[in-house]
Structure 1
Amino acid sequence: MKQSYVYIMTSMNHRAIYIGVTSNLVKRVYEHKNGLCDGFTKRYHCTKLVYFEVFDNIDEAINREKYLKGKKRDFKIALIEKQNPKWRDLYDDIL
């Protein structure tokens, strides 16, 4: 079974927060970091991976993504800071 991921990208100043879902986290974050994804992350320079969760089922990952996208910014910040209090870029950790 292929794993799926919900992830959060942010800009360097942490003003913009993007939540996404993917089955290949390394590839997807690479695309965000190198401006290969048109849209929000490219427009707001969201190149820093600050949070991710792993799922065994893509449907669970999609439901979690929708849930998180529906939450207020303060909730998302608290979620990030619980796992990653310094907002470190986690990209090197997943390579």
Structure 2
Amino acid sequence: MEASLRDTRLVTIGNSRGICLPNSLLQKYGFSNWLLLEETERGILLRKKDDNKLSYEETYKAVAQAQEDWTDFDQTLLDGLEKNEFITSSI
């Protein structure tokens, strides 16, 4: 892929500064409302955010809705660790 350089002006957005990306680039790279900004040795890299990944909150809601049976987990929770001298007696 051939690299292309574009002059882009920083604009004031509240107490911050930002850049405007041309629609052609937004469409070309599939950027939506969110993107990932990564600092690298060569500069700043903008990448498409994988919207298929769930946030912590979305994951929590999905697990809660699944209503899985975790009773087997309770039996293996300590798995003998309660006898460990480093574990307090409050367990």
TM-score clears 0.5: no
Q: TM-score w.r.t. structure 1 length? A: 0.20
More helix, by proportion: 1
The structure number with the bigger radius of gyration is 2
Q: TM-score w.r.t. structure 2 length? A: 0.20
